[in-house]
Homo-oligomer: A and B are copies of this chain.
């Protein structure tokens, strides 16, 4: 056992490692040639220049599903992703007679592949172009909200121009906190069909209990196929559509895996905060996360007290309680991780080193002034953080008050041309708002909503006067007695608890909502004024930060370059590549996790009760030790999942994991609990990513629920189980 240092000492040791050892980074494909030496040191055997070209394999095979990542694995548009990413499609095609969630799905022929639904998308990135000058041209010289709106207008124009060609979805993305802007163009394939999914008891074996956990034993894979119109262009689902022919597809590896092997992953990670300033790190650790933990705990207690003994209310608030608990748990995990990694001290040290380096640069004074100004803007936000947190929860955690505020806001926005409406209140958002107004019924109990508001209002009353929201004081009063009376009057006097009344106001002319004398609508009208004022402040700050942060980022990048290090931008849902290796984990003193799990672990966890209810065909195949070519030669058994140090975050679900030669060896599907804080800081001691081993996928598809058609299509020659054998007979 290697001695594990703690705190700063370990961090310092980790930071002193050469970059090739730390393996941190969500690189833009175009940056890969910059880090090729480190990639080679980690074991990469391909050509970094080829890897950086989105029009060539393997990058052109990596697609977005919008929220998840996937990859082409055949010349006929076959796509592999996570089972949990295809869950909606599996559910959609389930019937009382054939529950595909329980039974899995295995299309016998291409004609048997079923639609993943009208909203399903396969997005193929084909253009990624730096357009910083175009975006910032109109913003230069401006500040605050004007700067923000100039950037927004230029972005909308670029997107509209790009989307003029049908079949594409375009976006402008901000790199390095306002430093650079890129135009991304994606082919938008709209006929997506389900080809294969194992039963849920394989695809999400362990489910919520094992979520974030290692060791893991989940067969989290499923297959889609992308279809296009007979003319080869994207089209809505139609029987005459044909499989899409991708420019590239990944080859599935048949080689074994072992600890230390090179691995890389491509995908669409959502959002990280690693380039935030040290004061923002401190704020996250010292206030944001602890106050979230405290507040979520208080809301949970308030809901529990108010719904105690009322089975109906308990059911109606179950989803909100689950969500609050999840937010609380994640905040605790993130806090724990950032403290364990001493993230604030680490960021301060990086910032101090940058500042020292900056002092020696020609443009130091201007940069320092911008950085100081950015920090002042952040200070300004901090001055109202308690207010902003409480005020946003007053609508986010209620049903009736939120409905009223949405109705008032919509009434306001409907007075504008659609393009100028606030995002979230545009024409395309109205069906979603209607659904929420309907759903309010199933998630509401008056005494519980009042308890939630009472809890938030009590905290609001204790804010220093400069943080108090005058409209909140006016509506709810400034002492406990007044608040109690105001809440009672509001909830006994409103008609908004009737679904038809909410829908009537939604359907009515904007003037009707504005003129409503319903006390809840009146309260919402008052609170809306505060919301708009806070939004204005926030947009002004966002504009200033967009203008000022680039100085900070350029300082960080310049300092890193001076030390021979490249800097990747924070994740923003664009295509990124991370590289590293298969690696175990020492999560705590005297505990070591091996990087490969085996089917023996499935048997160990099996209880017969979901989520540990391995299907009989799987248990039987394990008992027969019917592994063949997919078995691991060193372990002498079938592997299931593996662990790497690859850099991932939400959005990387389904990302192909590739070997040193770009062959598919697995699918990313989760991170470990110790890495919840990685959205702020990559700590090489704890950051791991969890993948399905492609060998497990091949084994399931050859010996447990055989899909010889798809195996052949992927160029695999697994020996498929005799269809007369018990396991195969049980397969669909």
A590-B594, A593-B591, A594-B590 in contact; A600/B635 too (CB < 8 A)? no
User: A218 an interface residue at 8 Å Cβ cutoff?
Assistant: no
Cα separation A435 to B325 with both chains bound (whole Å): 45
- Which of chain B's residues have a CB closer than 8 A to the CB of A6? 600, 603-604
Cα separation A594 to B636 with both chains bound (whole Å): 23
User: A396 an interface residue at 8 Å Cβ cutoff?
Assistant: no
User: A624 an interface residue at 8 Å Cβ cutoff?
Assistant: no
- Which of chain B's residues have a CB closer than 8 A to the CB of A1? 594, 596, 635
- Which of chain B's residues have a CB closer than 8 A to the CB of A595? 590
A428 to chain B, nearest CB (A): 46
Cα separation A588 to B6 with both chains bound (whole Å): 26
Whether the pair B3, A637 counts as a contact (CB closer than 8 A) is yes
User: A650 an interface residue at 8 Å Cβ cutoff?
Assistant: no
- Which of chain B's residues have a CB closer than 8 A to the CB of A590? 214-215, 593-598, 601
A603 to chain B, nearest CB (A): 6
A240 to chain B, nearest CB (A): 48
- Which of chain B's residues have a CB closer than 8 A to the CB of A275? none
User: A4 an interface residue at 8 Å Cβ cutoff?
Assistant: yes
- Which of chain B's residues have a CB closer than 8 A to the CB of A600? 3-6, 589
Whether the pair A604, B589 counts as a contact (CB closer than 8 A) is yes
- Which of chain B's residues have a CB closer than 8 A to the CB of A603? 6
- Which of chain B's residues have a CB closer than 8 A to the CB of A591? 215, 591-594
User: A688 an interface residue at 8 Å Cβ cutoff?
Assistant: no
User: A217 an interface residue at 8 Å Cβ cutoff?
Assistant: yes
A522 to chain B, nearest CB (A): 39
- Which of chain B's residues have a CB closer than 8 A to the CB of A5? 600
Cα separation A595 to B1 with both chains bound (whole Å): 9
- Which of chain B's residues have a CB closer than 8 A to the CB of A588? 215, 601, 604
Find the B residue at minimum CB distance from A601. B589
- Which of chain B's residues have a CB closer than 8 A to the CB of A597? 589-590
- Which of chain B's residues have a CB closer than 8 A to the CB of A214? 590
Which residues in chain A, 562-600, are within 8 Å of chain B measured between CB atoms?
588-598, 600
A217: contacting residue among B589, B593, B637, CB under 8 A: B589
A595 to chain B, nearest CB (A): 8
Cα separation A603 to B340 with both chains bound (whole Å): 10
Cα separation A346 to B360 with both chains bound (whole Å): 76
Find the B residue at minimum CB distance from A632. B3
Which residues in chain A, 308-345, are within 8 Å of chain B measured between CB atoms?
340
Cα separation A636 to B13 with both chains bound (whole Å): 16
A265 to chain B, nearest CB (A): 20
- Which of chain B's residues have a CB closer than 8 A to the CB of A215? 588-591
Per-residue CB contact flags for chain A residues 452-473 toward chain B (1 = under 8 Å, else 0) read 0000000000000000000000
- Which of chain B's residues have a CB closer than 8 A to the CB of A598? 3-4, 589-590
A3: contacting residue among B340, B604, B635, CB under 8 A: B635
Interface pairs (22), CB distance under 8 Å: A1-B596, A1-B635, A3-B600, A3-B635, A3-B636, A3-B637, A4-B598, A4-B600, A6-B603, A215-B588, A215-B590, A215-B591, A588-B604, A589-B597, A589-B600, A589-B604, A590-B596, A590-B601, A591-B591, A591-B592, A591-B594, A592-B592
In the A-B complex, the 6 residue pairs with the smallest Cβ-Cβ separation, listed nearest first, are A589-B601, A215-B590, A590-B594, A590-B597, A1-B594, A3-B636
